Amino acid sequence: MIKAVIDTNVLVSALRSHSGAAFRVVELWGARKYRPVISAPLVFEYESVLLRQAAAFGLTARDIGDVLDYLCAVSHHQTIYYLWRPMLRDPGDDLVLEVAVAAESKYIVTHNLKDFAESRRFGIRAVTPGAFLKLIGEIHEHD
Question: Which tens digits make up the pLDDT trace of 1-25?
Answer: 899 999 999 999 999 999 999 999 9
Element (H, E) at 127: strand 125-127
- In the chain, where are the structural domains located? 3-135
Residues of the chain with pLDDT under 70: 82-88, 91, 141-143
Half-sphere exposure in the Cβ direction for 18 (13 Å, CA): 2
Residue 139 to residues 2, 8, 30, 48, 57, Cα–Cα distance (Å):
16, 22, 18, 31, 26
CATH of domain 3-135: 3.40.50.1010
What is the per-residue pLDDT for 87? 67
**pLDDT, position 118:** 86
pLDDT of residue 93: 85
pLDDT at 84: 61
> In whole angstroms, what is the distance from residue 77 CA to residue 39 CA?
6
CA–CA distance, 111 with 58 (Å, rounded to integer): 22
pLDDT in tens, 125-135: 999 999 999 99
